[in-house]
A and B are shown apart, each in its own frame.
Chain A
């Protein structure tokens, strides 16, 4: 594989402009100071209780996601480009979801195959022809972006269900401000602290038409045993809205209420962090105790907004992803600003044939997979694993897509032996309100801490970094 693009040091050895001050600082700061600050950061994280639970671990161990203290820096120009591309992408995704549940023009035009919608396990027939407030389906999206060169950015996947991680973006910044005030003094870093204000404004903007001028927003969590519970309580707290569980809500005459010490209080917008399946036991899984019986009826009656809307999963699987360029052109009449990674759809015999022939050099992903599980990284895999995937692909080709192994960019990272380059990706968080699209400059940078590794997921040895977008 070619040498990866390093975001600090260009191929000719020159430090890239955005990193000049940081590089200079890194040269002068003694390694034990860095190590001391790293440990300090860990202590603060623990005290603030920023931990995540790992499924399957019965012990009450609450783990920390490793945090790297060296920031990743993007210039204002790079960010402006990304922001334009992300805005375009989210608008197209919303239009696609709306079309899928109403007129299905894109299917009739033959741009996307029908079975991608109808055979999709997260397609919700319950949403067919049902109005949603302001035709707004996708309010909160996490669009994963990778970089391979000076001007080469690719979207890796679109997360349109209940994307998480934004609390890490906010806490990482908080910690960096505490640890390195002198670095901030020497950079003009665009702030991200107002994310929760923007989130609240976005949620209020999509309230049902008959909601009062200042609609009541709540955050619906599955509860304290959910691995992202910390984030749920963090966001609710910062927005100043109630963090509710299913049992705190009830529906009467198609209106949703929460139980408060002052009696029932009407709820207008639900930012749910509960999957579709568990939202309403009368419509979906009858054994769900996380949901609210009757919620879907209230939703269909237009009395409450659920954000993201029910059924947005139809836009986030990896097979649909491969049609994104067509989807953008179809709804917006524009050329896509951000590129897709070239993708082979194994469901198509021609593609499958090519994939099978080039398996050792490709990345193979499950169409509905997430979290870095169930994935083949050809160049890093042994023969046995490759053959295992070959068998899987032949048995169920429609369950997989394949992509070339991208050489993700690297950033300087503080590891055991000092500062060394490690591969990174970026998850910007895009808020799509009725009034406008809001994007915090930056996002969550995830870093693969093991040398050479391309897997950035926290469940598999990944850490995070603060992401700086320079104002000028």
Chain B
């Protein structure tokens, strides 16, 4: 297929996934700020939302202070933030229009419908309730897109490229969410953080829809290192780095088989998958979680570039 078509499918899926991640980050932040603050600690959850979304620099150019109003505006609706939810949905629709015939009717309806509904939220002052409805709408739009692609697309290269976009973006988001709190992630023997930490960790799990899964897997109260284990190494957890790479590697292998030729991206994905399968949380903590995540984000980007170079240009 045309490289541009593949690129559009890939970026369309990345944008939809990114919109959902942002909605989840904002949802978690909203929830945190509505909790009673104990211990007189001053926390700025809105700062951390910006850091998690990886757009602190762009934010500083446009605003002085991170608070509910500025962060919400910047992450959700700002036309100046290339990765705002609004711009993600806009980009997704543009990509979709450019490859309209490569999409199924259901996929197009999901994207086009989301883009039209977005307008009913834009340009007005939203109450907390309205905003929460907005976040629900964004998550549902992404689910509808993902689900319609899963259920209606031919299983060929077009499908695989759209999956690769989702998975690269999802791995990046999971890693970033974890990294924001790395400084409180301590090995078992160290003293655990206070009440606030607990809520923060629970909220991280909630933001990736994993709180219930956590209890199913670990059957104990929320512990930072177990949260890290769930989101990094647990293959059963669909947003974990291990699960993302299991699937990335699979779809890249499908492509290689389909085209009868493999390259750098297959090698990179396989290397990362092996690394994630053969390591333990103890090893990760020994080397430093922050360092581990930073290098993961860089390598994940590297895979994105390799896919672009090998197929999309």
Contact = CB atoms under 8 A, between A and B. Distances in A.
Interface of A: 49, 223-224, 233, 236-237, 242-245, 247-248, 258-262
Contacts, number: 41
Contact of A261 (B6, B97, B98): B6
A236 B311 contact: no
B4 A245 contact: yes
A261 B100 contact: no
B157 interface: yes
Contacts of A258: 2
Given A261-B259, A261-B311, A261-B312, A248 B100 contact: no
A124 to B, nearest CB: 29
A243 B101 contact: yes
Contacts of A260: 1-3
B127 interface: no
Contacts of A262: 259, 261
Nearest to B94: A224
Nearest to B7: A261
B313 interface: yes
B2 A233 contact: no
Interface string B145-157: 0000000000001
| Shortest 10 CB-CB contacts between residues of A and residues of B | A259-B3, A261-B311, A237-B101, A261-B6, A224-B97, A262-B259, A248-B4, A233-B101, A242-B2, A224-B98
A278 B84 CA distance: 35
A338 to B, nearest CB: 37
Contact of B1 (A237, A245, A261): A261
How big is chain B's contact interface, by range?
10 to 19
Nearest to B98: A224
8 contacts: A223-B98, A233-B101, A244-B2, A260-B2, A260-B3, A261-B157, A261-B161, A261-B311
Contacts of B313: 259
B195 to A, nearest CB: 49
A237 B3 CA distance: 17
B92 to A, nearest CB: 14
Given A259-B2, A259-B4, A233 B100 contact: yes
Interface of B: 1-6, 94, 97-98, 100-101, 157, 161, 255, 259, 261, 311-313
A182 B313 CA distance: 51
Q: Classify the interface of chain B: helix, strand, loop or mixed.
A: helix
Contacts of B312: 261
A244 B6 CA distance: 13
A248 B101 contact: no
A2 B156 CA distance: 62
Contacts of A243: 2, 101
Q: Is the interface of A mostly helix, strand, loop or mixed?
A: mixed
B5 to A, nearest CB: 8
A241 to B, nearest CB: 11
B313 to A, nearest CB: 7
Contacts of A223: 98
A261 B101 contact: no
A248 B97 contact: no
A248 B98 contact: no
Given A242-B5, A261-B6, 4 more contacts: A224-B98, A244-B4, A259-B2, A261-B255
Contacts of A49: 100
Contacts of B161: 261
A223 B312 CA distance: 18
A224 B94 CA distance: 9
A259 B313 CA distance: 7
B89 to A, nearest CB: 13
A49 B105 CA distance: 10
A103 B3 CA distance: 43
A233 B2 CA distance: 14
A223 B100 CA distance: 12
Contacts of B157: 261
Nearest to B312: A261
A49 B311 CA distance: 29
A224 B2 CA distance: 16
B259 A248 contact: no
A236 B101 contact: yes
Contacts of B94: 224
A111 B79 CA distance: 61
A86 B148 CA distance: 47
A312 to B, nearest CB: 27
A233 B108 CA distance: 15
Contacts of A261: 1-3, 6, 157, 161, 255, 259, 311-312
A132 B274 CA distance: 57
Contacts of A233: 100-101
A75 to B, nearest CB: 37
Contacts of B3: 248, 259-261
A261 B5 CA distance: 9
Nearest to A258: B2
A262 B2 CA distance: 9
A108 B313 CA distance: 51
A14 to B, nearest CB: 47
Contacts of B101: 233, 236-237, 243
Of B2, B101, B259, B261, most buried by chain A (CB within 10 Å of CB) is B2
A262 B101 CA distance: 20
Contacts of A259: 2-4, 313
Contacts of A244: 2, 4
A49 B3 CA distance: 24
Contacts of B2: 242-244, 248, 258-261
A242 B255 CA distance: 20
Nearest to B160: A261
A85 B259 CA distance: 49
Nearest to A223: B98
Nearest to A47: B105
A261 B313 CA distance: 8
A259 B312 CA distance: 8
A258 B1 CA distance: 10
Nearest to A49: B100
A244 B3 CA distance: 10
Contacts of B255: 261
Contacts of B311: 261
A291 to B, nearest CB: 16
A236 B311 CA distance: 22
B40 to A, nearest CB: 52
Which of A236, A247, A261: most chain B CB closer than 10 A? Answer: A261
A223 B99 CA distance: 11
Contact of A247 (B4, B5, B100, B261): B4
Contacts of A248: 2-4
Contacts of B4: 244-245, 247-248, 259
